């Protein structure tokens, strides 16, 4: 298991948003990506609270286990698979390395 040190820093005068330091690399936190993720998810699932995200990940796990037995229709699994895809997009775009001059 790889251990990385993370620290959320308040914006410095050169940054206009929160900065996350992972080991020795500074990243800006892309709030726009989080907002886009939530809007994309609302297209195929209800979102009343952040508990809905945890519930969806649990449903994905359960559905995939059941789906391997062949008794779950694809349309029942479709929202969970779309959610996984959106999680991938969110994680890919969540942090942007800060280019130091």
Position 43 confidence tier, pLDDT thresholds 50, 70, 90: very high
- Give 54-58 contacts, CB < 8 A, sequence gap 24+: 56/80, 56/83, 57/83
Q: What would the mean pLDDT of 55-69 be, rounded to a whole number?
A: 81
Query: What average pLDDT does the chain have?
Result: 79
Query: How far, rounded to the nearest angstrom, does the alpha carbon of residue 94 sit from its chain's CA centroid?
Result: 7
Q: What is this structure's pTM?
A: 0.61
For the chain, give every domain's residue range: 6-97
Phi and psi torsions of 21, nearest 5°:
-105, 120
């Amino acid at each position: 298991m790889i251990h990385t040190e993370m620290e959320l820093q308040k914006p410095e005068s050169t940054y206009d948003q929160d900065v996350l330091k992972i080991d020795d690399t500074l990243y800006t936190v892309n709030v726009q990506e989080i907002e886009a993720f939530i809007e994309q998810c609302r297209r195929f699932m209800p979102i009343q609270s952040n508990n809905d995200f945890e519930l969806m990940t649990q449903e994905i796990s359960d559905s995939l286990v059941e789906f391997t037995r062949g008794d779950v229709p694809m349309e029942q699994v479709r929202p969970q698979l779309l959610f996984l895809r959106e999680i991938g997009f969110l994680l890919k775009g969540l942090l942007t390395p800060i280019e130091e001059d």
